Amino acid sequence: MPSPSKKRRRRTLRQVARGVRRRARRMAGGARRIWRRSLQLRVVTSTMVISIAVVAVLGVFLMQQIISTTLETRELSAKSEAQSDRNTVLGYLTRPDADAADQPDDSGEALQTGGDSPLGQATRALAQRAGSASRYSVIIRNENRPGEFQATPEIDPISIPEKQREELFKKPAGEDSIWYDRLYYKGQSEPVQGMIIGTRLDTGETGLDDSYEIYHLVPLDKEEQTLSSVQQKLTAVGAGLVLLLAAIASLVTRQVVTPVRLTRQAAERLAAGRLDERLKVRGEDDLARLATSFNEMAANLALKIHQLEELSQVQRQFVSDVSHELRTPLTTVRMAADLLYDAREDFDPMAARSAELMQNQLNRFESMLADLLEISRYDAGAADLDVDSVDVRDVVLRAVADSEALAERHSTRFDLRLPSEPCMAEMDSRRVERILRNLLFNAIEHGEGREVVVSVGADRDAVAVAVRDHGVGLKPGEENMVFDRFWRADPSRARTIGGTGLGLAISREDAILHGGWLQAWGVPGEGSQFRLSLPRVSGTALRGSPLPLVPPEVEMRRTWRGHMTPMLLPALADGGRDVD
């Protein structure tokens, strides 16, 4: 069983690995954001990548051509020297005294006459012609005299591999065999890359049944150094060319990106409300025409916004004036209507019914007038809060009590899910209660007589109230439209509860005034849910809500469906019967 110290060490290593992964992800995310947002970076990077590819292809092609030309030149020179050396060797070997000089003795060993034999004299002559091993070396071997060879002093005979000797014997005498291999020199620990030209020289025409192998070993270390220097210079020139092209691309791109960036910044300031923002026009090119068009658009937009503001101000003033002006005659009418309503029992049935209808419509008219006055206060920025620390549960219970009569008429039952502990929060209880009444009335209106669930939740920073109905629901995209003024989900649907269509709009303004959220969720056929989230302390920022916006049973059903096996789906579609 692992010791506690090993467990702690493993845990520490896992934490370090997680931290490294998080930092790597953050760095990668930052790099991706910079890449997406910087047009100049993408252009310069693309130019560099394309330039590197082009320079690499051209560099490889040029290097191959230089290597091919250098080796061909060296090969032609070496073949010419080898042909001349073969003639020299042939002259020494065909002399009349050549046969006696290199005959084997009674033991079968070749007579090593050194420099006095024709073969030794030929080798010495070739060494003198070569001058030094850096130019070329020579190895001469006799096929019919095993172990006998002559070589210039510096070269090691192991430079000639047996495989190449076998290939040489497969060719006719006098035909060159050229290959590249490592050359070994005496006194040097490292081999040198070189070229070997091998030829068989047959002297049988003069009466001597002898066949000689002549190898010219040409070191290519100088050529290799030259080619390496050329490669380094080509690499340096290519890198400089890529950097130069990148600098040119950056300069050219800057000339285009800078005006575009200035246009973007001006557009952002214009969108932020600075309608006097304009661009400087320089020249007559496309960018100058873009700046001119932007300035004309900004001027027209400022004019239109000014006209709309004036019109909106007139409309708000009209609504406010009319709402206030209607209160005086409405008060008089209300007094007369109350007298008639109180005395309706003395009237005939027709007059009594008329008094009741007038009373109901006056109540509706007063509600509409109150909504118009409230929305005009928000438009004028005159709405304020009367904050007090209250228990959200009490506010919910008062709103539910006000909605009980309407719920009974629609055969709707409330399911209250309240916490056992107090949920204290700083709020304007009158406005919050009005929000909840609007949400409850809306749930009753569209709940089609089904149960309405009212949930309350709280955490350290916020409180929330969710009103869930199981009615017609909301179509995709209607979650935000439902808070627009005078908007209705289904215009053809008969309204059973009188109103102005401003209830949810006023509710959202009340929630925003508290620094909270009022959000909606809905699916056709599954009902809808409205969630009010408010901070516990007035004036603090709201970071989250203690209740989910999507009902838990719906979320659970979606998760369960996502994990169902494909074989189980036909069974559920077939009424839950077993599927073979």
Residue 329 maps to which CATH number? 1.10.287.130
Q: Which residue has the higher pLDDT, 24 or 150?
A: 24
Q: Which residue has the higher pLDDT, 360 or 413?
A: 413
Among 178, 230, 229, smallest CA distance to 199 is for 178
Which of 357, 383, 409 terminates a domain? The answer is: 383
Give the C-alpha separation, 565 to 544, whole Å: 35
Asked whether residue 438 falls in the same domain as residue 524, the answer is: yes
Averaged over 101-128, what is the pLDDT? 54
Q: Give the pLDDT score at 84.
A: 78
Asked whether residue 392 falls in the same domain as residue 527, the answer is: yes
Q: Is residue 198 part of a domain?
A: yes
Kindly report the CA angle at 172 between 169 and 178, in degrees rounded to 5? Answer: 70
> 199: domain CATH number?
3.30.450.20
Cα 182 off chain centre by: 51
Give the C-alpha separation, 161 to 181, whole Å: 9
Q: How confident is the model at residue 323 (pLDDT cuts 50, 70, 90)?
A: low
Q: Is residue 70 part of a domain?
A: no
Q: How confident is the model at residue 70 (pLDDT cuts 50, 70, 90)?
A: confident
Q: Do the beta carbons of residue 209 and residue 144 sit within 8 Å?
A: yes
Give pLDDT tens digits for 259-300.
Answer: 878 887 888 888 887 878 888 887 777 778 888 888 888 888
Q: Is the pLDDT of residue 327 over 80?
A: no
Asked whether residue 421 falls in the same domain as residue 316, the answer is: no
Q: How confident is the model at residue 252 (pLDDT cuts 50, 70, 90)?
A: confident
Where is average pLDDT lowest: 42-51, 96-105, 245-254, 264-273?
A: 96-105
Give the C-alpha separation, 126 to 129, whole Å: 5
Asked whether residue 171 falls in the same domain as residue 152, the answer is: yes
pTM over 0.75: no
User: Residue 308 carries which side chain, given as an amino acid letter?
Assistant: L
Give the C-alpha separation, 559 to 573, whole Å: 18
Among 505, 529, 517, smallest CA distance to 447 is for 529
Q: Which residue has the higher pLDDT, 381 or 455?
A: 455
Q: Which residue has the higher pLDDT, 287 or 62?
A: 62
Contacts of 190 (CB under 8 A, 6+ apart): none
- The pair phi, psi for residue 433, each rounded to 5°, is -65, -40
In total, how many domains does the chain have? 3
Q: Is residue 394 part of a domain?
A: yes
Q: Do the beta carbons of residue 119 and residue 91 sit within 8 Å?
A: no
Which of 355, 383, 411 terminates a domain? The answer is: 383
Asked whether residue 206 falls in the same domain as residue 222, the answer is: yes
Q: Give the pLDDT score at 516.
A: 92
Where is average pLDDT lowest: 125-129, 331-335, 355-359, 576-580?
A: 576-580
Asked whether residue 360 falls in the same domain as residue 454, the answer is: no
Q: Is residue 254 part of a domain?
A: no
Q: Do the beta carbons of residue 154 and residue 186 sit within 8 Å?
A: yes
Q: What is the DSSP string of 37-102?
A: H-HHHHHHHHHHHHHHHHHHHHHHHHHHHHHHHHHHHHHHHHHHHHHHHHHHHHHHHTSTTHHHHT
Asked whether residue 290 falls in the same domain as residue 396, the answer is: no
Give the C-alpha separation, 452 to 450, whole Å: 7
Asked whether residue 349 falls in the same domain as residue 396, the answer is: no
Q: Is residue 25 part of a domain?
A: no
Q: Is residue 511 part of a domain?
A: yes
* Burial (0-12, 13-18, 19+ Cβ within 10 Å), 8: exposed
Q: Is residue 569 part of a domain?
A: no
Asked whether residue 187 falls in the same domain as residue 86, the answer is: yes
The residues pairing with 200 across neighbouring beta strands, listed in sequence order, are 213
Contacts of 408 (CB under 8 A, 6+ apart): none
Averaged over 322-332, what is the pLDDT? 75
Cα 576 off chain centre by: 44
Q: Give the pLDDT score at 3.
A: 63
Give pLDDT tens digits for 216-249.
Answer: 888 887 888 888 888 888 889 888 888 888 888 8
Averaged over 139-165, what is the pLDDT? 73
Q: Is the pLDDT of residue 493 over 70?
A: no
Which residues in 391-408 are b (16+ Cβ under 10 Å) and which e?
Answer: bbbebbbebbeebeebbe
Q: Is the pLDDT of residue 565 over 70?
A: no
Give pLDDT tens digits for 172-181.
Answer: 777 778 888 8
Q: Give the pLDDT score at 397.
A: 93
Q: Which residue has the higher pLDDT, 320 or 365?
A: 365
- Beta strands 462-469 and 527-535: pairing type? antiparallel
Q: Give the pLDDT score at 177.
A: 81
Q: Give the pLDDT score at 15.
A: 77
Q: Which residue has the tokens 């809808």?
A: 528
Q: What is the mean pLDDT of the chain?
A: 78
Which of 328, 348, 383 terminates a domain? The answer is: 383
Type and span of the H or E element at 193 = strand 192-202
> 520: domain CATH number?
3.30.565.10
Range 411-414, long-range pairs (CB < 8 A, 24+ positions): 411/449, 412/443, 412/444, 412/447, 412/449, 412/450, 412/451, 412/452, 413/451, 413/452, 414/451, 414/452, 414/453, 414/454
Asked whether residue 497 falls in the same domain as residue 377, the answer is: no
Q: What percent of the chain has pLDDT over 70?
A: 82
Q: Give the pLDDT score at 92.
A: 74
Asked whether residue 416 falls in the same domain as residue 373, the answer is: no
Asked whether residue 401 falls in the same domain as residue 332, the answer is: no
Q: Is residue 89 part of a domain?
A: yes
Domain with 156 in it: 81-102+110-227
Query: What tokens appear for 210 in the block?
Result: 């002898």
